[in-house]
């Protein structure tokens, strides 16, 4: 199934930043009421790279994502996003930074009292962009996620997969430099999951957007590591022989509040750790 | 399933209460400060004013009329014994304008709107819509709370005036139709008894009550935890807390105004 084109003038926006890493966690810890969630977590996300974050339920994956956009503050440690240290920022400063970061929530988190076009164009509406410009850009991104027909509908009228795609459209409409996906394919059928994986892959390969992707589905991450988006055919294709896993894709595994693996697909496949072997088998 | 009873120390309860008061104060303070910061969401404020003001109008009309009529009915039986039935207008006027008008309107709007705000914001919390709003670069206190505070305080002021007027009309209906009081006599006594202090008291209270209703409703909504069950809990707590606070503040405001202007 091919993904439609998104006629955004600016591509490869992700590499414009001068910072070394898109996201950097340094010795980050967080606990909720004495319950430790993340302990001394460190990792880096390179520009243009997509990092899949794995871990069992409750291992702190979503917490990690929320900290990356400043929705939660760590108890200790340092987090940098696009070269700016966000741990010391106040909410007002974070609002500015968040304009450069898009996030897709686990349950989509669409505003249920707003129509699809208001949801997707929310940032543009807040920035007082002209109505014609908003309509043009909303239709573009909705076409990108193949949901232009839902323009005037309410989120409650959409299926789970459609809501997820609308949430992706909302996240990418301002062409963010970093995208954060929280279980983008969770609970979806294989066909819809594949469409969403293809959209994420297109963001990675065509628009060079850096991304953290929290997921339970190992097969989605392996698809992303073994395929690339082909602009000519406008769909994902298997990487040619000899270039296996030669895409900006890495893996991060959390266990017992800590990072137990951070590396690419080759390193993951070569891991001797029993837990990791069991996890990927 | 075994029922587990967990004992909580009074120290923890006091600590939680102090933390809640602190959070509420910060939220209320920040929301009020937002009136002086851009952007000011005027369209949202107008929408809320419509929901709170126009939406509450039927219940305010009904309670205003009923309370005024009941006040007149109950007072008349006593006044009649002392041959003072002509004072019924004064009694209804003072009662409605200084106390019952603002209080009943405040409690009615608290029941209707504090719960509405708590459930709406609570649902947005549990479905991560508030997080999404923050992630999209919008301050939820500016977008959601400040317009509700402005709209509630503004509309409660006018709803109270309407409730006062209808209370007086209700009182008139009873005095005229049941006790045969002359129309001019009733309305003259209603008008003449009122002094600046009474009107001031009656109009300052709804602004304070509006502030209480909206900040309490929004506070409970925004601090919702625990899914849909948590939303239900927040809704109930918001109505109870707003109503109790209105009654407490009403007492102290009345006392303060008496202290400033002196007793009648």
User: Hey, how many other C-beta atoms are within 10 angstroms of the C-beta on A26?
Assistant: 17
Residue B30 within any structural domain of the chain = no
- Report the relative pairing of strands A84-85 and A210-214 from DSSP bridges: unpaired
The distance of B173 to chain A (nearest Cα, Å) reads 44
Instruction: Please name the member of B127, B134, B135 whose beta carbon is closest to the beta carbon of A107.
Output: B127
pLDDT per residue as tens digits for the range B66-118:
999 999 999 888 888 887 888 889 999 999 999 999 999 999 999 999 999 99
Domain coordinates of chain A in residue numbers? 13-100+180-280, 112-175
Instruction: Please name the member of A69, A94, A105 whose beta carbon is closest to the beta carbon of B128.
Output: A105
Q: What is the pLDDT along chain B (264 residues), one digit of tens a residue?
A: 555 667 778 888 898 889 999 999 999 999 999 999 888 899 999 999 999 989 999 999 999 999 999 999 998 888 888 878 888 899 999 999 999 999 999 999 999 999 999 999 999 999 999 999 999 989 999 999 999 999 999 999 999 999 999 999 999 999 999 988 889 989 998 988 888 888 999 999 999 999 999 999 999 999 998 888 899 999 999 999 999 999 999 999 999 988 888 776
Structural domain total, chain B? 1
Mean pLDDT of the region A161-180: 91
Q: What is the CATH number of domain A13-100+180-280?
A: 3.40.50.300
A165 interfacial to chain B (CB closer than 8 Å)? no
- Interface with chain A: mutation pick from B127, B137, B140, highest number of A CBs within 10 Å: B137
3-state DSSP call for residue B252? helix
Q: How far apart are CA A219 and CA A258, in angstroms?
A: 23
A34 interfacial to chain B (CB closer than 8 Å)? no
Instruction: Please name the member of A95, A105, A126 whose beta carbon is closest to the beta carbon of B131.
Output: A105
Contacts of B61 (CB under 8 A, 6+ apart): B162, B163, B166
Report residue B166 as tokens: 């209808």
pLDDT per residue as tens digits for the range A65-99:
999 999 999 999 999 999 999 999 988 889 888 88
Chain B residues in contact with A122 (beta carbon < 8 A): 136, 138
Question: Do residues A146 and A4 touch, judged by C-beta distance below 8 A?
Answer: yes
| Cβ–Cβ below 8 Å for B136 and A112 | no
Chain B residues in contact with A112 (beta carbon < 8 A): 127, 129
pLDDT per residue as tens digits for the range A101-121:
999 998 889 999 999 999 999
Torsions phi, psi of A160, nearest 5?
A: -60, -45
Residue B80 within any structural domain of the chain = yes
Residue B32 within any structural domain of the chain = no
Full domain range(s) for residue B65:
57-261
A109 interfacial to chain B (CB closer than 8 Å)? yes
Residue of A nearest to B141 (CA): A91
Q: Left (φ > 0), alpha (ψ -120 to 50) or beta: where does A146 sit?
A: left
pLDDT per residue as tens digits for the range A201-221:
988 998 899 999 998 888 888
Instruction: Please name the member of A107, A112, A122 whose beta carbon is closest to the beta carbon of B136.
Output: A122
Residue B182 within any structural domain of the chain = yes
Q: How far apart are CA B122 and CA B42, in angstroms?
A: 23
3-state DSSP call for residue B30? helix
Strand partners for A182: A214
């Amino acid at each position: 199934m091919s993904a439609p084109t998104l006629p955004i003038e600016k591509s490869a926006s992700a590499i414009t930043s001068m910072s070394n890493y898109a996201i950097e966690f340094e010795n980050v810890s967080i606990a909720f009421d004495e319950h430790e969630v993340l302990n001394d977590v460190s990792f880096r996300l390179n520009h243009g790279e997509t990092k899949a974050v794995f871990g069992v339920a409750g291992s702190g994956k979503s917490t990690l994502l929320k900290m990356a956009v400043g929705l939660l503050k760590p108890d200790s440690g340092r987090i940098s996003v696009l070269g700016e240290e966000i741990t010391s920022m106040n909410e007002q400063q974070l609002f500015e930074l968040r304009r450069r970061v898009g996030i897709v929530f686990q349950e989509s988190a669409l505003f249920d009292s707003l129509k699809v076009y208001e949801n997707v164009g929310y940032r543009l509406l807040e920035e007082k962009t002209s109505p014609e410009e908003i309509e043009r850009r909303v239709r573009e991104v909705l076409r990108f996620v193949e949901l232009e027909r839902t323009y005037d509908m309410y989120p409650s009228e959409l299926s789970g997969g459609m809501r997820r795609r609308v949430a992706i459209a909302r996240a990418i409409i301002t062409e963010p430099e970093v995208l954060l996906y929280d279980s983008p394919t969770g609970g979806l059928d294989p066909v819809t999951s594949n469409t969403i994986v293809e959209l994420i892959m297109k963001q990675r390969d065509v628009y060079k957007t850096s991304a953290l992707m929290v997921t339970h589905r190992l097969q989605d991450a392996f698809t992303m590591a073994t395929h690339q988006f082909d602009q000519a055919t406008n769909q994902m294709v298997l990487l040619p022989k000899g270039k296996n896993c030669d895409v900006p894709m890495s893996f991060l595994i959390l266990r017992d509040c800590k990072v137990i693996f951070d590396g690419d697909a080759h390193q993951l496949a070569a891991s001797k750790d029993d837990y990791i072997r069991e996890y990927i088998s | 399933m075994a029922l587990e009873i967990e004992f909580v120390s009074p120290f923890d309860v006091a600590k939680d209460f102090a933390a809640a008061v602190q959070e509420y104060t910060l939220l209320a303070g920040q929301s009020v400060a937002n009136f002086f910061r851009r952007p000011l969401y005027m369209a949202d404020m107008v929408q809320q004013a419509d929901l709170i003001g126009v939406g509450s109008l039927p219940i305010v009309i009904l309670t205003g009329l009923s309370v005024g009529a009941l006040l007149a009915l109950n007072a008349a039986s006593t006044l009649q014994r002392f041959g003072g039935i002509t004072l019924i207008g004064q009694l209804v006027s003072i009662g409605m304008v200084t106390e019952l008008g603002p209080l009943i309107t405040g409690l009615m709007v608290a029941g209707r709107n504090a719960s509405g705000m708590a459930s709406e914001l609570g649902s947005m919390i549990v479905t991560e819509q508030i997080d999404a709003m923050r992630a999209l670069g919008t301050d939820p206190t500016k977008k959601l709370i400040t317009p509700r505070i402005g709209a509630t305080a503004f509309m409660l002021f006018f709803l109270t005036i309407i409730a006062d007027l209808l209370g007086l009309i209700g009182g008139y209906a009873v005095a005229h139709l049941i006790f045969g009081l002359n129309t001019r006599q009733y309305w003259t006594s209603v008008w003449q008894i009122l002094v600046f202090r009474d009107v001031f008291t009656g109009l300052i209270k709804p602004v304070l009550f509006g502030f209480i209703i909206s900040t309490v409703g929004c506070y409970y909504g925004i601090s919702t935890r625990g899914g849909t069950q948590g939303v239900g809990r927040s809704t109930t707590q918001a109505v109870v807390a707003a109503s109790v606070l209105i009654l407490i503040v009403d007492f102290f405001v009345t006392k303060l105004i008496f202290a400033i202007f002196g007793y009648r």
